[in-house]
Structure 1
């Protein structure tokens, strides 16, 4: 009987609530004044009066009032006169037609149970991160927080940026690119096919190239690269932070020292480029690494000796990565995958490194599934690693060129020279 009561409560509470009923008014049983639990058999009642009405109707009980037939029914005396209590039930609109038969109750019970089972099955089938995968993510996020400060508060002790000095042809052309950023920034919010007349990145870079000097014009080899000392310090500082991050990647320190060094030398600049995306702004295509004096535009990078062969794909990469709107968890997992690449030059134990990379890759794919990030999201992220390879090669090439020029190599730190293949003199 108690089970039937529960089931009928479920059904009866689904009765349409009268329009005049105010949900903010306390629910009071229309029969006895006790706290009501909902609409039962077409009236607002408590559980006690609901059960009394159901039993009375099913037994077809006939009650007689021992008094005058007009007893006042309250919470305390509702058991004293069944006749007046039943009369009160009918007076407030309770209807026997709303009472379910035992068969109907059972069918309803089975239906509710099936719904619960279906919901439980659906919940069980939802993708979830395992405890191990969650631990990997939390470890990498913690490692990132410990080795990356977006305010660059401890970088102020390095050589300050010097933006004065002769502007080379590359710097002039880069400034031209930067001046177009206002026209291009809106285009990053629209597809190239939008037809809104905005300048997109491809057309902007094409204009940028067309504005350059003739191929046979030469830069002054003696031009002072005013930003080279400062940006060399920034790269050196960032490499140290990447080393700290790598040491906290699960399994990295179990590799041989030779393989650790090989992985770091080949991937450090790529991880730095990934990290720098957090400070990259689509509004003016600059990197803000702290206060105003540590905000770098494209022309600043050219004053460190970098040319269009690096800067054009670098800007495209930063814009594309920014538009992926990566979660922090995805960002750190991508950095770890980048760093744990078994095909890096000098790596000896390829299989061991590959196992570590696959483990992190599986965690990233699981995270993407759990958070419904889209079927192609993982592929787009991995594509960014392919772009990083060519960027890294060009970056290293340009640093090696500087390292072989005595007047410039002395501006580079020993760590930068070692990582990018130069010799410490």
Structure 2
């Protein structure tokens, strides 16, 4: 039996020997309890032994050799304070078959192991409390037996030693296991911290800027009302350096031939908005002006995020542009998952005015060929329950894809992406507990493949939209530039 304890642990030993010892003790306890007197109880513990003086409740031997049973599942509410059945002090668990405090646990073990015999100096019915439990050892011991504490549950000296060795062995094994676990290096953690900061700086969870977009129109309102507001780029993006979105700070120097398109003023004037609204019927695509501003705004935030990815600015200007143009819509779809709600399958960005349904996007010119797989993608991504760290790493990996059209230095882009991929895999192993971490990296990479298909469908539908002058003129210059045909 002792060998079994060494293999299965201390609690396993108690659970196996408890029924046997309980049966062995049943007959002797029933005989002892018939008389109900302390003298009958003492006779079963060898009355010829001398009395034992009071010993402190917390000696090291007691702590090492004490036996504690696991609580029966569901028997006790863990939030309710547990009371010692002997003295009323705070209990620490089941000890020798009863709920007791550490003091009464040690007292019972010492008394049983040394076959102690106590005599009550009073009437044999002292009420034991936390404060007076040391005054009458006889009544305290009687109370221990009355609540069900059993000497059969006390470990022998050999079992105590085995328990100590087992505890030490387990600690050593846990320490070894901990040392072998993968850990994020300081450099990897620094990259994660940078990406988190970049995301926090470029994503506003309050969506306060949405009020500056041209207003959403979900009904057959007049065209003048739909397009009355100027583009978001008139005021709120001045602080974002809107004239330098693809400028020298982000990309270095460009060929002069590209500059007029790349650095065009992105502000739609009030006069232009008014004149267009006079000639265009917005009843068909009433949400297009608002969503065009939303996408333009999101592109700028993606650019801001990309600038802060470690290593991104080391790339040639042309490669930075190629990466951003190709990945912008994919990163926007990734970012929008933060506002996507599974309950009603909408993107909720603050108030009801900015709660976007599938019908809203169809009123901006997109068909279900894009929207059905997009919603499926959002649901799947949401169910992965990604940590914010995993989310920002996935966005950075998406941007730094070496197989994007127009990328020249593919080896450098690939090395940057490989570094981020390694950090993501290490993070999942270290910080994402199972079962959520099972195949999580593979599922995240599959999401990037899904985004490629969504990107292709979006480009196809965007081209159909942009070929219609009455609709394309409602798009912002930045949207026209990023989703144009320079890179196809």
Q: Which residue in the other structure is 1:355 paired with? A: 415
Q: 1:378 to 1:95 in 2, by over 3 A?
A: closer
Counterpart contact for 1:340–1:353, Cα < 8 Å: yes
Q: Which residue in the other structure is 1:141 paired with? A: 196
Mapped to 2, the partners of 1:102 and 1:406 lie a distance apart of 92
Q: How does 1:270-349 map to 2 (within 5 A)?
A: 270-349=330-409
Counterpart contact for 2:70–2:93, Cα < 8 Å: no
Mapped to 1, the partners of 2:69 and 2:361 lie a distance apart of 68
Q: Which residue in the other structure is 1:414 paired with? A: 477
Unaligned runs of 5+ in 1: 18-22, 64-68, 79-83, 167-221
Q: How does 1:49-198 map to 2 (within 5 A)?
A: 103-165=158-220
Q: Provide Cα deviations, 1:330-353, integer angstroms capped at 9, x if missing partner.
A: 322221211111111222222222
Q: 1:14 to 1:277 in 2, by over 3 A?
A: closer
- Check if 1:387 corresponds to 2:450: yes
Structure 2 counterpart of 1:371, from 433, 439, 447: 433
Q: Which residue in the other structure is 2:11 paired with? A: none
Q: How many residue pairs align between the two structures?
A: 347
Task: Identify which range, 384-393 or 104-113, moves more after superposition.
Answer: 104-113
Q: 1:100 to 1:230 in 2, by over 3 A?
A: closer
RCO (CA 8 Å, sep 6+): is it higher in 1 or 2? 1
Q: Which residue in the other structure is 2:65 paired with? A: 8
Mapped to 2, the partners of 1:88 and 1:269 lie a distance apart of 75
- RMSD of the alignment, in Å? 4.5
Q: How does 1:159-238 map to 2 (within 5 A)?
A: 159-165=214-220, 224=282, 225-238=285-298
Structure 1 counterpart of 2:302, from 217, 230, 242: 242
1:308 Cα deviation from its structure 2 partner = 3.8
Counterpart contact for 1:161–1:230, Cα < 8 Å: yes
Q: Which residue in the other structure is 1:192 paired with? A: none
Counterpart contact for 2:82–2:90, Cα < 8 Å: no
Unaligned runs of 5+ in 2: 1-58, 73-80, 123-130, 222-279
TM-score (norm. length: structure 2): 0.57
Mapped to 1, the partners of 2:361 and 2:334 lie a distance apart of 17
Mapped to 2, the partners of 1:154 and 1:275 lie a distance apart of 16
Mapped to 2, the partners of 1:15 and 1:227 lie a distance apart of 62
1:384 Cα deviation from its structure 2 partner = 1.6
1:267 Cα deviation from its structure 2 partner = 0.4
